[in-house]
Structure 1
Amino acid sequence: MTNQEIPKAAYAVVGGSGTLSSNFPAGLPDEDVEIISDNMHFETPYGMSPAMRLFRVGKKRVLTVRMHGWRSGVTRADASRQVFWTFREAGVRRIISEGGVGTVNKLLDLRDFIVPDDYLDLSVRKDVMLDGRYLLIMRDALCPELRQALIRATKKRFTGRVFTRGTYAVTDGRHFESPAEVAMMNGHADIVGQSIAPEVYLAREIGACYAGLYFTVNYGEGIREKWSHEDMSNIFYDDAPMIGEIIIETIRQVNADERHCECRELRKETLLKDVYNEVSSKG
């Protein structure tokens, strides 16, 4: 259904491949988790939004979208703008993203968790913004406060290896990277995926805290002689409920009203506002 009024929510989850198979959060047993509204679509300046779900964790209201809003017939840039414009209108202040990633660092194995503290944007989706009013300072682009909550929740729910920092290299996809591309990234990044940009920019633009939880599901080409698609499939289906539990536990831990980070202050009014106004007036 199409909803004209966007519901208020202080929290958002950008679902990726980690929770896709679990119908997050419908399959979780937690008594304080309840779906309030489902299959909501909203008119945005960038087209109709993807389907969104509103749920609560205790009294905290959360908007979530599946697979970063990506879908056939919509560019990934527009999908991201639709999602984050809706988040802005909803008043979202804390955003958790998740996804499956490939390894670039040879020390990583399958089913390792990484909560990165930096990113390397190798995509060509540039200037994906909502209105250009802000200069975005990308220091601490992944919110330190939200990252620490994710790390605590992951260690509470997962007995394997959890890496508390690392660099996420983002490429356009939809194909995986070649051995030469992985070799180029090695030493500069630890994991590779396709979603952290432009989300990290759009989150900063709307003044929200943003952090991500990433699960290694395949070896980057050349890291190992071969990797199995069956391994990736097993991770995709078997571990989705655990990833959902980690996200819910993180939401329980963080307060949207009391933020002790610089995320909102690291966006500044652009000095080029006259240029942007002139461009906007010309369409």
Structure 2
Amino acid sequence: MESFKNTALTVIGGVGYDSLSEDGAARSEIKTPYGTVSVSAFSKDGSDIVFISRHQGKQHVPPHKINFLALVDAARQIGAPVLSVNSVGLMRSVPLTGNFETKDRLKDKPAVSPENFLDFPFFVPTDFVDLTKNRISTFHDEDTVHVDMTDPYCVYIRSLLYGILKDRSVSYSEGVYLCTEGPRFETKAEIQMFAHYADVVGMTGIPEVVLAKEAGLCYASFCTITNPATSLSGNMVTADEVTAAVEKNQKTVFEIIFALASVLSDCRNHPDQNKCHKNCRCQNAVVGGKL
């Protein structure tokens, strides 16, 4: 689309991230075959960013009723790489891929766990398990199209994200994201079972990542661990707890978003830089997939 041709990054965000583009944003609507999507476009340090609120509506749209088809089609029309921001619960201890903290009490921690998740709240999904039940998870309802999911989350965007996290000394973990239908939290028995297959649990990552792959978008997710999953802390899990954790880490998440947009903007202007070597296959995920 002409009005979004200079966009470096599209951000799809949930609870706590509507404030990302409150000041000076140009608001507009994108019409899709699945509904109209409201977006906010703004510039940060010379980089154009478009924000899409995942739960948009007069009221907070619950996770099982989000119009993922419309959101992803709007992102497809914008045409820029996508960073999804998600909140998750931690189901088991996960090794820290990068531990760049300088405080003595933190730098030797080998993993993020239910006991120290507040110290290391950031998680980058590399794969997923889909346990949703009633969501439309494809653009191809009338045709048989087998989209390749070898790398569900764009390896190129993730590589840029890892570099940004290292440059800013932000420790993080990575692994498998499991998505449930919601809107209820999971039971103790479910978490015990899920923890055999995944590291974190959420309600909004699927089918967003699948649809993005079908749309040929470079798409990655950056998660905030907001709580230990049910039964792991001894306390009841609440929505207030999730919101408080998101707000606590909001500033850092914004900084990561702005830095990624800046790198992507630089890469577009200087495509020969080594850091801009694009090694993903996102645009070809449906090639050869139609029967």
Pairwise TM-score range, normalised by the shorter structure: 0.7 to 0.9
Distance 1:74 1:98, change over 3 A: closer
The CA deviation at 1:150 is 1.8
2:282 aligned with 1:263, yes or no? Answer: yes
Report the AA paired with residue 244 of structure 1: F
Q: TM-score, normalised by structure 1?
A: 0.78
- Bigger CA drift: 76-85 or 178-187? 76-85
Q: TM-score, normalised by structure 2?
A: 0.76
Residues 98-145 of structure 1 deviation map (CA, whole Å, 9 limit, x = unaligned): 121111114344332111111111111454223456431001111112
Residues 152-211 of structure 1 deviation map (CA, whole Å, 9 limit, x = unaligned): 32344455x411x21000011111111111011112100000111111111111111111
RMSD value over aligned CA atoms? 2.8
SS at match of 1:141: coil
Kept in 2, the 8 Å contact 1:169–1:185? The answer is: yes
Q: Choose which of 218, 227, 245 in structure 1 pairs with 2:227.
A: 218
Distance 1:147 1:267, change over 3 A: same
2:26 aligned with 1:37, yes or no? Answer: yes
Kept in 2, the 8 Å contact 1:139–1:266? The answer is: no
Report the AA paired with residue 79 of structure 2: G
Q: Choose which of 247, 263, 267 in structure 2 pairs with 1:253.
A: 263
- Bigger CA drift: 9-18 or 75-84? 75-84
The CA deviation at 1:243 is 0.9
Kept in 2, the 8 Å contact 1:77–1:128? The answer is: no
Kept in 1, the 8 Å contact 2:154–2:220? The answer is: yes
Kept in 1, the 8 Å contact 2:11–2:51? The answer is: yes
- For 1:171 and 1:147, how far apart are their aligned partners in 2? 24
- For 1:202 and 1:194, how far apart are their aligned partners in 2? 15
Within 5 A, what are the aligned runs for 1:124-273? 124-131=133-140, 134-157=145-168, 159=170, 161-163=171-173, 165-226=174-235, 229=238, 231-254=241-264, 255=267, 259-272=278-291
Kept in 1, the 8 Å contact 2:68–2:207? The answer is: yes
- For 1:247 and 1:73, how far apart are their aligned partners in 2? 24
Report the AA paired with residue 83 of structure 1: L
- Bigger CA drift: 214-223 or 7-16? 7-16
Residues 204-260 of structure 1 deviation map (CA, whole Å, 9 limit, x = unaligned): 111111111111111111222125656544323232122111111112123467632
Aligned residues: 255
Q: Choose which of 20, 24, 34 in structure 1 pairs with 2:20.
A: 24
Report the AA paired with residue 190 of structure 2: E
- For 1:17 and 1:78, how far apart are their aligned partners in 2? 13
The CA deviation at 1:68 is 4.9
The CA deviation at 1:36 is 4.9
2:123 aligned with 1:114, yes or no? Answer: yes
Percent identical = 24
The CA deviation at 1:44 is 2.0
Gaps of 5+ in 2: 94-112
SS at match of 1:135: coil
